Structure 1
């Protein structure tokens, strides 16, 4: 369809197809090297197998919890691919929770938004202290949606210090012109309802949007649309594309981690 290539990342990133297996291998090695008993895995937050999360804890009393939501166009991946990206926050003394969620076409994007809200509420009930939300690509959309008033209880949103969408999809209307919509089953109305860039009522949570300078033009557009609509900072990371922009999550002193945790 008209916008299929515009929203395709793998063909336009050198070695793009190698990233997912590399992420999975690095994540598995990270989990294997962790101190036994420190972390917890497969903690349920809902009633399907994919509605579960892992939590990684630092060696010190946690300062708070970073909730990282993965991407994959709401169609692929789970939390097991991303464990090693907890490194930076752990070094800063924060716990890191990583939820999975059900995927399209088994559910709609609006259902996934509701699932992530339930995950955030469940994690908040289990972990004391401040909460920081970050997500990549579709995950950037999902953490942005948490700023909708009433989606989360007030005692949870009061604890959210930052929202950091990384290469987010903020306006879902263009996806109507992709073949992916055969699985999303978006309509004009549901695309509008699920678009962070079109949210006219938002909680006043500090937000920083990140995108790679070498990303597909539509992702630069998507990030700008949300930054303009939300009147929040947009960080364009020089030399980074859609897959390697998240490498900065592994660096405790990286500018990205500074925006996420302060």
Structure 2
């Protein structure tokens, strides 16, 4: 039973080793894809896949074949991965703590304000090249085409995604009849009926993108907690496997006999 932890860590790493293959395949598929949105996740998918592959391979070899140095590398990298994942999870909760939609009277959907989001997220959109990439992604996804034929009744009864609410229509408060006499939201003047213009340069569109990012990141942070607990459990089992592997390299696989200096009984030599 002293190698039970080695068997468990071997099976767990075999499972994670096999699971890294579709992750790497997904990253390589994204690299060949022409869709702009999917290229955002290309590098993270490849990095995560290869890290899991290397760690799992080292842990599997070390646990099943009693290779102490492989288990040592496995534990060091696993400790680094746990620390990085913990820092990323905390950062994710801090970044996504701000934001959210504003209720619109008489409407089901919500509208979003750019200034309500964290400065770090807003700073990401200051780069014109970065925003042009996101804008091309929204155009390619044809998100606004889904509400292009809505009637006024639909706007009263149907919900919208954050990007549809911010990018596909002007703010609800806009009044184009009194546009020259009443001060309005600057986004009201950025709106254009052209299908390739709409409100893609509006602050409300950027806020809608940040809201989508905030929701996805919040879900990812919750998932990271589950993964973090799983990795900590595997790390604890890996420490036991490393100790067992070091023992098997000595003359005392069950632990050193610490009774060696005790004086033998009178009939021992008989």
TM-score, normalised by the number of residues in structure 2: 0.26
Structure with greater Cα Rg: 2
TM-score, normalised by the number of residues in structure 1: 0.27
Greater share of helix: 2
Greater share of strand: 1
Structure number with greater CO (CA < 8 Å, separation at least 6) is: 2
